[in-house]
């Protein structure tokens, strides 16, 4: 099932699966992949849609745990049912990242992920890039409970973030965060 989608993936069997409804989600979701890479967490990234490729989703979610995945990050926009359907098909933790949408700015994506009825949880993060980065960090926090290397990588990541936070504001233009 796993296809090569990023060039610098950490070696090993993927433990985090990143799925997204469309190629158009990748410019945002690559931030999940890049953050996992920075933490040395093996992962895979695939395009799987609940409505365009329902059979692909059924197979992926049903086989995920058996293949060794520990967490699934699901990103979708609009009526973002991908994360909820995935969570219904597996007992693995599913983290949802709502995508920005043209009509409603991603509020539709956010509400359709976060408002899961009691019984099938989706851990929903922020809309867009912040959610994509935080999905990777959240996955690391979960994995770090039973993996000392991941916990140490997350500690180093946070220490770097703290070290890079300036005390005095600069007048120079800053890169987008
Ligand atoms: C969702 O519809 C995808 O996750 C994407 O965010 C949105 C728009 O998809 P495209 O029309 O750009 O393929 O399924």
| Ligand 1 pocket, residues with Cβ under 6 angstroms | 20-22, 24-25, 49, 76-78, 99
Specify if 10 maps to a domain.
Answer: no
Tell me, yes or no, if the pTM score tops 0.85.
yes
**pLDDT at position 57 over 80:** yes
Specify if 5 maps to a domain.
Answer: no
Specify if 139 maps to a domain.
Answer: yes
Distance, CA 25 to ligand 1 centroid (Å)? 7
SS3 (DSSP) at 84: helix
- Print the domain residue range for 113: 16-158
Specify if 64 maps to a domain.
Answer: yes
Specify if 65 maps to a domain.
Answer: yes
Specify if 6 maps to a domain.
Answer: no
**What's the structural domain count of the chain?**
1
- What DSSP string describes 1-63? ------SSPPSSS-SEEEEES-GGGHHHHHHHHHHHHHTT--EEEEE--TTTSHHHHHHHHHH
Express each pLDDT in 101-117 by its tens digit.
999 999 999 999 999 99
The residue contributing the CA closest to ligand 1 atom 2 is 77
Distance, CA 145 to ligand 1 centroid (Å)? 34
**Long-range pairs, 156-160, Cβ under 8 A, ≥24:** 157/38, 157/39
Express each pLDDT in 8-33 by its tens digit.
677 789 999 999 999 999 999 999 99
Domain at 135, CATH number: 3.40.50.1970
Specify if 26 maps to a domain.
Answer: yes
């Amino acid at each position: 099932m796993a296809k090569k989608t990023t060039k610098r993936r950490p070696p090993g069997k993927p433990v985090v699966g990143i799925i997204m409804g469309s190629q158009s989600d990748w410019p945002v979701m690559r931030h999940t992949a890049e953050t996992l890479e920075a933490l040395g967490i093996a992962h895979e990234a695939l395009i799987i849609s609940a409505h365009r490729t329902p059979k692909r989703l059924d197979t992926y979610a049903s086989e995920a745990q058996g293949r060794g995945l520990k967490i699934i990050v699901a990103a979708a926009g609009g009526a973002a049912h991908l994360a909820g359907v995935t969570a219904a098909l597996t007992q693995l933790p599913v983290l949802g990242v709502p995508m920005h949408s043209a009509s409603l700015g991603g509020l539709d994506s956010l509400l359709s992920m976060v408002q899961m009825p009691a019984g099938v949880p989706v851990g929903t993060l922020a809309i867009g890039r912040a959610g994509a980065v935080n999905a990777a960090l959240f996955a690391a926090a979960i994995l770090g409970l039973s993996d000392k290397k991941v916990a140490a990588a997350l500690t180093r990541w946070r220490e770097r973030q703290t070290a890079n936070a300036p005390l005095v504001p600069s007048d120079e233009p800053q890169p987008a965060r």
